[in-house]
Amino acid sequence: MGGLFSKYPFQADARGLTMFEVSHVYQLTPEPPVMECVNDYIVAAIEQDDLRYFLYFLHHTEPRLNGRVKSFLLREGLDRYDPERFLDYKQNCVLAMLECLKTYDPDKGAEFLTYAHRFIGNALLDCRMKEESGSFSSLDEYKNVRGIAWLYNQSGDRKEAVARYAEQEGCSEETAEQYLAVARFNRSQVPFYATVQDEDAEETGEDVTRDDSWDYTAILWNGIQAKAVQTEFEKLSYREQRLLEERNAVCMTCGRVSPLPRRRTFEDLAVMFEGSSASGAERAYRRAVEKLTVLLVEAGALHAIRLRQKTKTSRKKKIAAAVYEYQADCDGEWGEIQFDFESGTAKIVRLADWDTIVSKMFAERAVKYIRSCDIKHLPKVLLVAF
């Protein structure tokens, strides 16, 4: 059985794969042997101690598994069409089902999928927990936090949510308060970049149509990355540090993240740094963001793509095509990508240095980002981090 597992993609890598491919990763050729019902494959796997029958089971139940993963991602407000994320969630469910094989008893009358339903749900929640901004000691704690967060979201009243949760779960209000504090802290995390294009953007020459290139808290949730961010942040000047903290309502000393409405406007920042205009403060802020991004790339904490528009064609003021050059991790020779917005296609003409020939990770990210932009306001120069 070890040989079988070594050849089969229970831990497949989604980089470079399409959604169609990750949705059909368990489709076998030739077709598996036919049995009277799908659950018979599980029974055969247990009785014959042969996991090939589990693969046959996956071949037939993969559409149902795909549907459950998509439904979960939809409820969570996540991208259902990101191959890498989709396969991560899906593979976690498959591993959970493998664990269920050890304790499943067909003689008790329940079908395997019914028996595994709760375990699959836990596997999905486990993946979601690892994507959250906060950190949790266990899946049970995460479930408790989600439960009280839902009640608080429904009522909007802290005391009512605490009282209802304590009554439902049979715990003290003090314990409920602790869970709610964790939930509120977790949901208060905001993207590090969250500004929008100002009316005078063209005058200042800043491309700010899309300023949410990377998520500060998605990086900080991992303790190792948090240390890297803090280390590189300390390399900035005092003015650069203050610009980033005040504009994004974060404190890099204590880790506090305030609600986004409390962040400083560029006019406020101009007053703080006397002799500066709002547009000048904005440009200084964006230079600080770029400097920190480059430092984090050099430290290996994240990746980044530089984009610069080479040419753009217009047909009666409607953009038909554009050519972008891109640079991987802010270093090396530039690559080139051609976009045809009329046909909705993109052609990678030349790969940048450090981009991979097979997965084309940087080029694919660049294509996805430009396609998400408003065609009427395509960025001229941009740094996209991920």
CA 355/CA 331 separation, integer angstroms? 11
Q: How confident is the model at residue 261 (pLDDT cuts 50, 70, 90)?
A: low
Sign (positive/negative) of CA torsion 139, 145, 148, 151?
negative
SS3 annotation, 34-98? CCCCCHHHHHHHHHCCCCHHHHHHHHHHHHHHHHHHHHHHHHCCCCCCCHHHHHHHHHHHHHHHH
Rounded Cα distance between 314 and 269, Å, is 38
φ/ψ of residue 197, rounded to 5 = -70, 130
Task: Provide the pLDDT for residue 138.
Answer: 84
H/E stretch holding 313? strand 304-315
**CB neighbours (10 Å) of residue 232?**
19
**pLDDT tens digits, 308-323:** 888 766 655 667 788 8
Residue with tokens 């596997």: 123
Handedness of CA 383, 194, 136, 226 (dihedral sign): positive
Residue 89's closest CA among 102, 80, 99? 80
Buried b (16+ CB within 10 A) or exposed e, 22-58: bbebbeeeeebeeeeebbebbbbbbeeeebbbbbbbb
The helix (run of H) or strand (run of E) holding residue 1 is none
What's the confidence (pLDDT) of residue 16?
65
**pTM summary value:** 0.48
Mean pLDDT of the chain: 77
**Strand, coil or helix: 237:** coil
pLDDT score of 258: 66
321 against 88, higher pLDDT: 88
What is the mean pLDDT of the segment spanning 209-228?
Answer: 44
Residues 356-378 have pLDDT tens digits of 777 778 888 888 888 877 777 78
Q: Is 3 a residue whose pLDDT tops 80? A: no
Please tell me the predicted confidence (pLDDT) of residue 283.
Answer: 84
